[in-house]
Chains A and B, each alone.
Chain A
Amino acid sequence: MSAPLPPIVEFREATKRFGEGPLVLDLLNLTVQPGEFVSLLGPSGCGKSTLLRLIAGLTPLTAGSLIVDRRSPDAAAADLAFVFQEPTLLPWLRVTANIELPLALRGIAPAERSAISRRVLDLVRLSEKANAYPRQLSGGQKMRVSIARALALSPKILLLDEPFGALDEMTREHLNEELLTIRERHAWTAFFVTHSVAEAVFLSNRIFIFSANPAHLHTEIPVPFPYPRTAATRLSRPYHDLVADVSRLLRSVEPDTV
Chain B
Amino acid sequence: MSRRLQTIFLPAATGALVIAAWYAVHALLSEDLRFLLPTPTAVVTAFRTHADSLARAALNTTQGALLGFALAVIVSSFFALALSLSRLVRIGLYPYLMILQMTPVIVFAPILVIWVGAGLKSVTIITFLICFFPLVVNTTQGLVSTDRHLVELFAMWRTSRLQQVLYLRVPAALPYFFTGLRIAATLAPIGALVGDYTAGSSAGDGGGLGFQAIIYSSQAKYAALFATAATTCILGFIFTAGVLSLSWLVLHQWHDSYENTDK
Question: A residues engaging B (CB < 8 A)?
Answer: 56, 58, 77-78, 80-82, 84, 86, 88, 90-93, 101-102, 105-106, 133-136
Bound-state Cα–Cα, A136 to B255, Å: 11
- Asked if B253 lies at the interface with its beta carbon under 8 angstroms from chain A, I say yes
Bound-state Cα–Cα, A199 to B172, Å: 34
Q: Is the CB of A86 within 8 A of B155?
A: no
Give every chain A residue within 8 A of B205 (Cβ-Cβ).
none
Give every chain B residue within 8 A of A90 (Cβ-Cβ).
150, 167-168, 171
Q: Is the CB of A134 within 8 A of B254?
A: yes
- Asked if B10 lies at the interface with its beta carbon under 8 angstroms from chain A, I say no
B139-173 Cβ-contact flags toward A at 8 Å (1 or 0)? 00000000101101101111100010001100110
Given A88, A93, A106, which contacts B153 in the complex, CB threshold below 8 Å? A88
Question: B residues engaging A (CB < 8 A)?
Answer: 147, 149-150, 152-153, 155-159, 163, 167-168, 171-172, 174, 253-256, 260, 262-263
Q: Is the CB of B155 within 8 A of A135?
A: no
Chain B: which residue is nearest A85 at the CB level?
Answer: B149
Q: Is the CB of B253 within 8 A of A133?
A: yes
What's the A-B contact tally at a CB cutoff of 8 Å?
A: 48
Bound-state Cα–Cα, A107 to B150, Å: 20
Residue of B149, B156, B167 ringed by the most chain A CB atoms within 10 A: B156
Chain A to chain B contacts (Cβ below 8 Å), 27 pairs? A56-B156, A58-B152, A58-B155, A77-B156, A81-B156, A82-B156, A84-B149, A88-B147, A90-B150, A90-B167, A90-B168, A90-B171, A91-B254, A91-B255, A92-B172, A92-B174, A92-B255, A93-B254, A105-B157, A105-B159, A105-B163, A106-B157, A133-B253, A133-B254, A134-B254, A135-B256, A136-B263
What's the least CB distance linking B116 to chain A, in Å? 40
Q: Is the CB of A136 within 8 A of B174?
A: no
Give every chain B residue within 8 A of A93 (Cβ-Cβ).
254
Bound-state Cα–Cα, A58 to B149, Å: 13
Chain A: which residue is nearest B154 at the CB level?
Answer: A105
Give every chain A residue within 8 A of B167 (Cβ-Cβ).
90, 101, 105
Chain A: which residue is nearest B158 at the CB level?
Answer: A77
Give every chain B residue within 8 A of A102 (Cβ-Cβ).
157
Give every chain A residue within 8 A of B253 (Cβ-Cβ).
133
Given A78, A81, A86, A101, which contacts B149 in the complex, CB threshold below 8 Å? A86
